[in-house]
Amino acid sequence: MNIGGNYFSDTIEKVIKNASRIALRFGSDVVGTEHILYGITSVKESLSAKALAEYGVTEEDLFELFSDNCYEEQVFGSVELSPRVKDLFKTAQQIALEYNHSFLGTEHLFLALLSSQGSVALKLLTNHYGVDIQALYNKIAMSLEQSSLSSNEQKSQNQSKSTLPEKLLEMGSDITLKAKEHKLDPVIGREDEIERIIEILCRKTKNNPVLIGEAGVGKTAIIEGLAQAIVSGNVPEQLKGKIIYSLEIGGLMAGTKYRGSMEEKLKDAIETIIKDKNIIVFIDEIHTLAQAGSKDGETSPADMLKPYLARGEMQTIGATTTDEYRKFIEKDKALERRFQPILVSPPSVSDTIQILKGLKDTYEAFHKIKISDEAIEAAAVLSDRYIMDRSLPDKAIDLIDEACSKAKVNFSIKPQAIKDLEDKIAALSSSRDDASLQRNYEKAANLQSEIIKLEDELKKKQSKLQPKKQSVNQIGANEIAAVVAKWTGIPVTRITESEKEKLLHLEEILHKRVVGQDEAVQAVAKAIRRSRVGLQDSKRPIGSFLFLGQTGVGKTELSKAIAEALFDDENNIIRIDMSEYMESHSVSKLIGSPPGYVGYDEGGQLTEAVRRRPYSVVLFDEIEKAHPDIFNALLQILDDGRLTDGQGRTVSFKNTVIIMTSNVGASEVSQNKKLGFSDENEQPVTDKEIYLHALKQKFKPEFINRIDVVCVFEPLTQPQLVMIAKILISNINKRLLEKGLTIKMTEEALDFIVQKGSNSEYGARPLKRYLQQEVEDRIAEKLLLGELEEKGTIVIDCKDGELEFTSQNA
């Protein structure tokens, strides 16, 4: 019999059997803590029973006590453990794990019993027998501690031993031993790299391979695959029986306080290794050996390896990243020529799927969760598309791992309704036990009947929950997509019904803030819908737009409205004010300073913002004010959806909405000039043509040609200005509502405000300023002077060319 991996000892089985028997004997259909106490005393040879006997707590005495306080009743059938006793066994299991015991014994259960505050058993021990609970607990715990030490010694003796000397194992580990013990994951799809390593190792000279590849591509896994090949005998005769020893730089440097200590440890390790011709040394992050313990101009530990590597006395496999290899290994030509580089590229998506299928059984066994083929394919595809700063297969494996973990957590968490029922049952059981001790049998019987009802209800709820748990017991593509969405903020999950409605009516949502400008609103809405359904070009941004028009017509406001529609927050926008980039060198502010310049480690304002929030609206405001060199940096964003920052990292813009605003051509339109047209018989030039002509004059064709849509914003008409005024007044009302005030404006006052506050040349911005000066400021003054009530409605009317404010009580 086992519970959560801990097996019941024979004595525990005896405790449960005797506790159940005594519960039945005295008319209880559940086993309580007092019955468990009786069961423990019945195992007279146990340490717990002997310790209790010192306080006079014996099997016979407890039987006599139960006989005095309970009435006998014939009960048929079996008894169940009470919720408190079930918790007792869970606590006992944790105690057994803490002491590294594989079996659950009476001492673990007794310690759990002594920790169960408020239980009937504990009340018996303290009130009836006067037991010192803490002293008894310490005594049993001390005995368990000693038995734990002896069991650990026995365990260590039984473990598989490595043939490597102890001094080497202090600084590293035996990978071939792990392969023999089947502790390594299977290695899939790296046969070519393993074969290349074997070829280099079998050379006469320069037989030291070094694996070079980005983090997460599987360099260490290749070495584990080599170890598995050696153990299985699937290698040439020259490599059979070889031991792959992983030398850890941390273990080498541990305890080396003084200069030369590390070199001494390394020399000692090398001398031990060269005595055994079967050892192949693997050094992960080998570039750290070129750095460790040395300063500029001083000898590095790597220099100590050179003569042994040159003479072929010590075979070594290294692993490092491309950047570190170039920075530390290539600089040292003597060290570089002793290693044969093997470039490890990230696997393709199809290869990653095969790798994940090979690892599927391992992760299913660990998580106890089934992984569907759809989940494996989604992990490879989605990680390749949306997680840009990491490499396959590592990022795909992490997706599978986290999705399984999430499903396992959801599977194990009980619904709140079930928790509440269990708590009620536990509380009623405690009250019933107290009533039994006080000989209030009628109350105990009533409580027992109530417990039975609640337990029936609990069973029904648990049976309903079981089918749901069965469905949670497997992960699919949706679970993988949910993890990707959580990591990146990019919505790649299945579109919900509410989101469908939002996308279908996106134009209406945007028009709640942006008045008019139908062309621009429709273009943006179509791009967002196309992206969310998954039809947009995966190599380009969601959409790139250039908004042209005079100031105050809604260009920036539409950008904020898009951010609010997508993220429910207008501030969730990356705004770059291009007037700050008027110098040619200011491009470094966008992408980060190059190496050697101040601010190199800080990153660029644009690239860092997009790296942190890959799914966002990026607004380049008043782009015509930037230096022309800035536009060259934007070309690859618009075309390839990527930008390389000052530190050489590639930042993806594939999930951003790029919006650029410009006033170019606005001055020509306002002056009503005909650019390039002088014949009076020709048709007049439209505003749109003037804007587009000015655009071509200002920007290069290769820049304009990369923009998806160029939208010309029309000047605002009188009716549109009235609608804008209503929106602005509504915003003022939202702020006043906190003070208990609202504004009610007559049509005459509204027309008067629009007439006085609008300006055809400056759009809606003067209207906003006019409302602030003539409405908000005047309301504030009148409230302070007491001319308006502090609560209620403020009516604004227009009489004799002046705005009039009056209070109207609700």
Instruction: Note the pLDDT of residue 199.
Output: 92
Kindly report which listed range (254-258, 287-291, 362-366) carries the lowest average pLDDT score.
254-258
Indicate the SS3 state at residue 480. helix
Q: How many Å apart are CA 22 and CA 73, to the nearest integer?
A: 12
Q: Choose the CATH number for 497-712 among 3.10.310.10, 3.40.50.880, 1.10.10.60, 3.40.50.300.
A: 3.40.50.300
Instruction: Identify whether the C-beta of residue 698 lies closer than 8 Å to the C-beta of residue 710.
Output: no
Helix (H) or strand (E) holding 37: helix 33-42
Residue 471 has pLDDT above 70, yes or no: no
Instruction: Note the pLDDT of residue 193.
Output: 92
Residue 109 has pLDDT above 80, yes or no: yes
Mean pLDDT computed over 9-15:
81
Count other Cβ atoms within 10 Å, centred on residue 342: 21
Q: How many Å apart are CA 87 and CA 90, to the nearest integer?
A: 5
> Given pLDDT bands bounded at 50, 70 and 90, which one contains residue 162?
low
Closest CA to 343 of 204, 208, 205, 196: 196
Q: How many Å apart are CA 278 and CA 251, to the nearest integer?
A: 22
Residue 762 has pLDDT above 80, yes or no: no
Cα-trace Rg, the chain: 38
Q: How many Å apart are CA 116 and CA 114, to the nearest integer?
A: 6
User: What would the two tokens of residue 321 be?
Assistant: 């990243």
Residue 358 has pLDDT above 70, yes or no: yes
Helical packing angle, 261-275 and 301-311, nearest 10°: 20
Instruction: Note the pLDDT of residue 600.
Output: 65
CATH architecture of the domain 166-345 equals 3-Layer(aba) Sandwich (3.40)
Q: How many Å apart are CA 220 and CA 392, to the nearest integer?
A: 14
Euclidean distance between the first and the last CA atom of the chain, given in angstroms as a whole number: 74
Q: Enter the CATH code of domain 2-157.
A: 1.10.1780.10
In degrees, rounded to 5, the angle at the alpha carbon of residue 356 between the alpha carbons of residues 355 and 361 is 115
User: What would the two tokens of residue 237 be?
Assistant: 């005769």
Closest CA to 578 of 564, 563, 589: 589
Question: Which residues are registered as beta bridge partners of 808?
Answer: 793
Helical packing angle, 33-42 and 10-25, nearest 10°: 120
Q: With the C-alpha atoms ordered 165, 167, 168, 173, is the resulting torsion angle positive or negative?
A: positive
Question: Which residues are registered as beta bridge partners of 279?
Answer: 243
Instruction: Note the pLDDT of residue 494.
Output: 63
User: What would the two tokens of residue 7 be?
Assistant: 């097996």
Mean pLDDT computed over 159-168:
68
Helix (H) or strand (E) holding 745: strand 741-745
Q: Write the burial class of residue 232 (CB in 10 Å: 0-12 exposed, 13-18 middle, 19+ buried).
A: exposed
Instruction: Identify whether the C-beta of residue 511 lies closer than 8 Å to the C-beta of residue 522.
Output: no
> Given pLDDT bands bounded at 50, 70 and 90, which one contains residue 681?
low
Count other Cβ atoms within 10 Å, centred on residue 764: 23
- Taking only the tens place, the pLDDT of each residue in 476-531 is 888 998 898 888 877 776 656 677 788 888 888 888 888 888 888 888 888 888 87
* Residue 682 DSSP symbol: S
Instruction: Note the pLDDT of residue 376.
Output: 93
- Taking only the tens place, the pLDDT of each residue in 532-588 is 777 777 778 888 889 888 888 888 888 888 888 877 777 778 898 888 888 877 888
Q: Where in the chain is the domain with CATH 1.10.8.60?
A: 350-480, 718-808
Residue 360 has pLDDT above 70, yes or no: yes
Instruction: Identify whether the C-beta of residue 278 lies closer than 8 Å to the C-beta of residue 174.
Output: no
Helical packing angle, 106-114 and 33-42, nearest 10°: 140
Q: How many Å apart are CA 732 and CA 805, to the nearest integer?
A: 15
Amino acid at 719: P
Mean pLDDT computed over 446-467:
76
User: What would the two tokens of residue 359 be?
Assistant: 């690892």
Mean pLDDT computed over 432-456:
80
Q: What is the largest CA-CA distance in the chain?
A: 123
Q: How many Å apart are CA 98 and CA 95, to the nearest integer?
A: 5
Q: How many Å apart are CA 805 and CA 746, to the nearest integer?
A: 11
C-alpha to C-alpha distances, 792 to 738, 740, 795, 796, 799, nearest whole angstrom: 12, 6, 10, 13, 22
Backbone angles phi, psi at 208, to 5 degrees: -125, 100
Q: How many Å apart are CA 51 and CA 64, to the nearest integer?
A: 20
Indicate the SS3 state at residue 657. strand
Mean pLDDT for the chain overall: 81
What is the fold of 718-808? Helicase, Ruva Protein; domain 3 (1.10.8)
Q: Using DSSP bridges, classify how beta strands 802-808 and 792-799 pair: parallel, antiparallel or unpaired.
A: antiparallel
Instruction: Note the pLDDT of residue 224.
Output: 92
Q: With the C-alpha atoms ordered 457, 461, 464, 470, is the resulting torsion angle positive or negative?
A: negative
User: What would the two tokens of residue 738 be?
Assistant: 């906190």
Instruction: Note the pLDDT of residue 74.
Output: 44
Residue 198 has pLDDT above 90, yes or no: yes
Instruction: Identify whether the C-beta of residue 577 lies closer than 8 Å to the C-beta of residue 622.
Output: yes
Q: Choose the CATH number for 350-480 among 3.90.1150.10, 3.40.30.160, 1.10.8.60, 3.40.50.2300.
A: 1.10.8.60
- Taking only the tens place, the pLDDT of each residue in 769-786 is 888 888 888 888 888 888
Instruction: Give 724's contacts (C-beta < 8 A, 6+ positions apart).
Output: 515, 716, 764, 767
* Residue 236 DSSP symbol: -
Q: Where in the chain is the domain with CATH 3.40.50.300?
A: 166-345, 497-712
> Given pLDDT bands bounded at 50, 70 and 90, which one contains residue 413?
low
User: What would the two tokens of residue 799 be?
Assistant: 């009489």
Report the percent of the chain where pLDDT is more than 70: 88
Q: How many Å apart are CA 714 and CA 667, to the nearest integer?
A: 14
- Taking only the tens place, the pLDDT of each residue in 662-676 is 888 877 777 754 444
pTM of the model: 0.62
Q: Where in the chain is the domain with CATH 1.10.1780.10?
A: 2-157
> Given pLDDT bands bounded at 50, 70 and 90, which one contains residue 380?
very high
